[in-house]
Amino acid sequence: MSSNINLVKAEFKNVFAYGEELTTYEFKNGLDLFSGKNGRGKSTLGDVVCYGLYGKPFRKIKLKSMVNTTNNKRMYVAITFTSGDDTYKVVRTMKPDNFEIYKNDELIEQEARKDDYQNMLESDILNTSETVFRQLIVLGANMEVSKNFMDLNKAEKEDILQTLTDTKIFTYIKDVVKSRMKTNKEQKVLVDERTHSTKSIILSETSMKQKAESHNEKLKNQNDNIIGHKNEQILAHESNIEKHRVILELVKPMVQPYKNKKIELEKLKENTQIIKTNAININNSIREQQRVLDNGAECESCGHITLLGDASEKEILILKEELNALKIEATENKPLIDTLTKEIEDTSIDIDRAKSSNTQISMLLSAITNLKEEILILENLTLMDFDESNLKENEEKMILLCEEQGTITKDQRALDIIKKYVESDDLKGHLISQQLPILNKWINTFLDKFGMSEFIFTIGADLKEQLVRTSGSGEFNGLSNGQKARIKFSLMFAFLKLIENKNGVTWNTLFLDEVLDSSLDYEGRNELLNIIKEEFKEKDIIIVSHNQDIQEKVEMFNRIVTFALVDDFSNIKVEEV
C-alpha cells in the first residue's frame, strides 16, 4: 500500500544542547542548508525526528544521553506530520516518560502495552519500519550505504542489499522462527504432559463410573425383584381383603336381627327367671298354707292355735292355679328360648367370622401400608453416587488439549516450512537478483545526470560490480577522485530510489548529513546540488555541511538555517533566500 508521509514540524526542548525554550523547525519543500560550528546541534534534528517517531535517536548513542545535562529538566519532543487527509502529532517526553499519539487533535487511546501502541504507529499510520525509515530519511557520511560500495567485500555488499531489499528480514524471521520453535517444543511438552495426565484421570473416572453403573444396575435389579415380590404380596393382601369384605357384606344384614334376637332372648330369660322365682314363692306359700291347714295357726300374741279349715284350702287352691299358670307360661317360653338360642348361636358363627374378617382387613391394610413404605424406601434407595461433572470437565479439557496439540503440530509444520525458506540462500539470492536490474537502471540514470553517460555500471548476481566504458575500456581504479565520487553518489541515490519504490512509502524529507563534504570537485558539487533539486524537488532536502564551497552557494538554497549558542544553549535561525 503506497502512502505519503509529510513531516510538518518538529518541536523540542531540553534535547542535547537545546534548552528549556521550545525550538520549532518547520519542514518545507526545497533545499535547506544547515550551517554552524561543531557542537551547535545541526545533527540533532535527525535524532529528534527518529526519537519522536520510533523512540530511539538516529545516531548510535544512549537514549538517556539525549536529555540536556545542563538543566537536566523534562525532555520534550513533538513531531507533526500528515498522512492522506489526516494530521498526526506524536509526543514523547523523558523525566517523566510519556508517549501520546494525536489524530486530528484527538488523543488516540493507548493500548495496554506500550509496544502495541508503537506497533500501531509504525504499521497503521507510518507504514514504515524503523529500519526502512533509517534508509529513507537520512544519508550520513558514516552510513554503510554512503560508503564506496565497490570497496566492500561480498558479505558487506550482501548485507546492504539484504537491508535495502528487506531480505535481511529473513535473518530476523529465522531468529523468530527458532524462538517460536523452541517455545512450540516447550508448549508441546507441557500440552503432552497435561494430555497424558488428563487422559489418566478420564480413564480412572470412566472406570469409577462403570463400577458405579454396574453396582447400581445390580442393586436396581435386586431391588426390582424385591419390589416385584412385595407388589405381589400387596395384590394377594388386596385379594384377601376383597374376600373378607364379601363376608362382611354377607353378614351385615344379619347384625341387626341378631341384636334384636339377643334382646328378645334376654327378655324371655328374664321373664322365665321371674316365673321361676314366682313359682318358688307360690310353692313356698302352698307349703305354708298346707302346714297351717294341717296344724292350725298360732296366735302371735297369745300362742293359741286356731284351725282355719276351708279358708286355707281355698287359698291353696288359688295358689296352685297360679303355679300351674306359671308352669304353662314357662313351658311356652322354653321352645322360644331354645329357638332363639339356636338362631343366635348359628348367627354368632357368622358374626364371629365377620369380626375375624374385619380384624384381618385391618391387619392386611396395615401390612399393605408397610409394604408400600418398604417399596418407597427401595425405590428411593441411594445408589452409589458418581459426580459426572468432573468427568465431563476433563473430557472437555481433553478436547481443547487435542485441539491445542493439533494447533501446535500445524504451527510446527508451518515453522518448518518457513525455516526451510528463510534458510535458503537461493531464495534470498533470487529476491536480491530481482531488484538488481532496477538498481542498475537507477545507478546509470544518475551517472548520466552526473555527465558520465559514457560509463555503464552493473552489479551482477554475484554482487561483483562491472564498469564498462562505451568508448574504450575503463577501470574503477583508473578513474579520478571526482569520477569515483560521482559513482558513489549515483549508488547512494539509486539505493534511495530503490527503497522508496519497493516500500511504496514516500517521505517529504531527506537529511544529507555531511555526505557532500567529500572528494567531489567544484563542478561535481554543482552537478550534485542540481541533481538533488531536480530529483527530490518534492522534498525538504536538509544539507548539513562544513564545506566552504557549498556554504557559499547561497543561491542554490531556499533557506539557510544557522545554528549558534545563545546563553550556552543551541539556537536556530532560519532565513529565507
Most confident of 128-137, 269-278, 482-491: 269-278
The pLDDT of residue 309 is 52
The pLDDT of residue 125 is 92
Task: State mean pLDDT over 239-264.
Answer: 90
**HEC per residue, 120-182:** HHHHHHHCCCHHHHHHHHEEECCCHHHCCHHHCCHHHHHHHHHHHCCCCHHHHHHHHHHHHHH
Between residues 191 and 422, the one the model is more confident about: 191
Task: State mean pLDDT over 305-327.
Answer: 74
Does residue 108 have a pLDDT over 90?
yes
**CB-CB neighbours of 327 under 10 Å:** 13
Instruction: State the pLDDT confidence band at 26, using cuts at 50, 70 and 90.
Output: very high
Residue 461 CA: distances (Å) to CA of 163, 236, 429, 443, 465: 16, 108, 8, 16, 9
- Asked if 3 and 79 touch (Cβ cutoff 8 Å), the reply is no
Task: State mean pLDDT over 52-61.
Answer: 92
Instruction: State the pLDDT confidence band at 144, using cuts at 50, 70 and 90.
Output: very low
Portion of the chain with pLDDT greater than 70, in percent: 88
**Which of helix, strand or coil describes residue 450?**
coil
- Asked if 7 and 49 touch (Cβ cutoff 8 Å), the reply is yes
Q: At what angle do helices 130-137 and 44-54 cross, to 10 degrees?
A: 150
The pLDDT of residue 325 is 87
Residue 491 CA: distances (Å) to CA of 166, 195, 479: 18, 59, 16
Q: At what angle do helices 425-449 and 522-535 cross, to 10 degrees?
A: 110
Largest distance between two CA atoms of the chain: 215
- Asked if 19 and 69 touch (Cβ cutoff 8 Å), the reply is no
CA atoms within 13 A on the CB side of 77: 28
| Grid cell digits, residue 548 | 566552504
Tens digits of per-residue pLDDT, 422-467? 676 666 666 677 888 988 999 999 999 888 888 898 988 888 888 8
The pLDDT of residue 321 is 87
The pLDDT of residue 233 is 94
Query: Strands across the sheet with 509-513, in order?
Result: 138-140, 509-513, 540-544, 30-36, 559-566, 569-576
Distance, in Å, from the CA atom of 345 to the CA atom of 462, rounded to the nearest integer, reads 140
Distance, in Å, from the CA atom of 141 to the CA atom of 131, rounded to the nearest integer, reads 17
Task: State mean pLDDT over 228-243.
Answer: 93
DSSP 65-110: GGB-TTT---EEEEEEEEETTEEEEEEEEETTTEEEEEETTEEPPP
The pLDDT of residue 72 is 84
The pLDDT of residue 130 is 85
First and final C-alpha spacing in the chain: 37
DSSP 226-294: HHHHHHHHHHHHHHHHHHHHHHHHHHHHHHHHHHHHHHHHHHHHHHHHHHHHHHHHHHHHHHHHHHHHH
Does residue 143 have a pLDDT over 60?
no
The pLDDT of residue 319 is 83
Lowest-pLDDT range, 53-57, 239-243, 370-374, 461-465?
Answer: 461-465
